[in-house]
C-alpha cells in the first residue's frame, strides 16, 4: 500500500491530520512558551506525519520522539520548535544542519525562509530524506551524504548552524564555518544521551555561550564526535 493511500486511510479512520497538527502546535509549542511566529507558522504548515514511517503516522503529532530507523529518531515537536526559535532564523538565512534524519527539521527551517544545507551520515536515511523532501517540494533544501562533524565547507560561511545529535564537544570545524555574528545551536554532553542544549553566538573572534537546559539526543558520530573520543572540539 502506497504512502499517499495510507495517509488517506488515516483520514477515513477519523484522524483529522490538520486538527491534530493545530492541537500539537497549541498544546506542545505555544502553551510551552514558544513565541516566534515564524516557528509557529512553519510547524502548522509542515505535515509531520509525512516524515515518519506509515505505521507511526497516527502518532506523529504526539509529545514523543519517534524512531526513524538505524538507531535515529525524529525529535519531539517541542524540541524542534525550541531549537528553531533559538536559531533566530531570518528569511534568506543560510543554515547548515548536521543530521538530516527524516528531513522534518530541515522542512521547518525551509518554511521559515531559510536556505538549508543538511548533512546526513547514514545512507538509507539520506536517500529517504532526499526523496521525501523532493516529493514535498522543499527545493531550497540541499542534502549531502557525509560526516556531519566536518560540516560542508563548499557553501560556508553559514548564518546559522543547527546540530541534531549530541557530542562530547562542539566540533571545531563547525565553528570555523559559522559567519560573523552567526548562531549555532548544539546539544553537548560528556555522557551519551545526556546533554545540555547550548546556544553559541559568534562575535568576531569570540564565542558567547548560553545553556538552554538539559536535553537528550542520539549520539553525534564522526571525526569530531564520539567516534574519535570527542577530544578535538571546543567546550
Catalytic residue among 64, 65, 75, 102: 75
Distance CA 42, CA 160 (A): 17
Contacts of 182 (CB under 8 A, 6+ apart): 157, 158, 159, 160, 161, 201, 202
Distance CA 100, CA 57 (A): 19
* Exposed/middle/buried for residue 146 (C-beta within 10 Å: 0-12, 13-18, 19+): middle
Active site residue 58: no
Contacts of 139 (CB under 8 A, 6+ apart): none
Residues with a known catalytic role: 75
Amino acid at each position: 500500500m502506497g504512502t499517499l493511500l495510507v495517509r488517506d486511510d488515516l483520514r477515513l479512520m477519523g484522524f483529522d491530520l490538520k486538527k491534530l497538527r493545530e492541537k500539537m502546535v497549541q498544546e506542545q509549542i505555544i502553551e510551552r512558551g514558544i513565541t516566534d511566529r515564524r516557528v509557529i507558522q512553519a510547524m502548522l504548515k509542515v505535515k509531520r506525519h509525512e516524515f515518519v514511517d506509515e505505521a507511526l503516522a497516527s502518532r506523529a503529532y504526539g509529545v514523543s520522539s519517534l524512531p526513524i530507523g538505524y538507531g535515529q529518531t525524529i525529535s519531539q515537536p517541542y524540541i524542534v520548535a525550541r531549537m528553531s526559535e533559538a536559531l533566530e532564523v531570518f528569511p534568506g538565512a543560510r543554515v547548515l544542519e548536521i543530521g538530516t534524519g527524516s528531513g522534518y527539521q530541515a522542512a521547518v527551517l525551509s518554511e521559515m525562509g531559510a536556505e538549508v544545507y543538511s548533512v546526513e551520515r547514514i545512507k538509507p536515511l539520506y536517500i529517504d530524506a532526499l526523496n521525501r523532501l523532493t516529493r514535498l517540494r522543499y527545493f531550497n533544501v540541499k542534502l549531502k551524504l557525509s560526516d556531519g562533524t566536518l560540516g560542508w565547507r563548499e557553501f560556508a560561511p553559514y548564518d546559522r548552524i543547527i546540530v541534531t545529535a549530541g557530542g562530547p564537544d562542539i566540533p571545531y570545524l563547525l565553528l570555523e564555518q559559522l559567519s560573523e555574528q552567526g548562531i549555532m545551536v548544539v546539544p553537548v554532553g560528556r555522557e551519551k544521551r545526556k546533554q545540555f542544549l547550548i546556544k553559541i553566538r559568534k562575535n568576531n573572534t569570540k564565542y558567547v555561550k548560553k545553556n538552554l537546559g538539559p536535553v537528550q539526543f542520539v549520539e553525534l558520530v564522526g571525526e569530531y564526535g564520539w567516534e574519535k573520543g570527542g577530544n578535538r572540539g571546543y567546550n
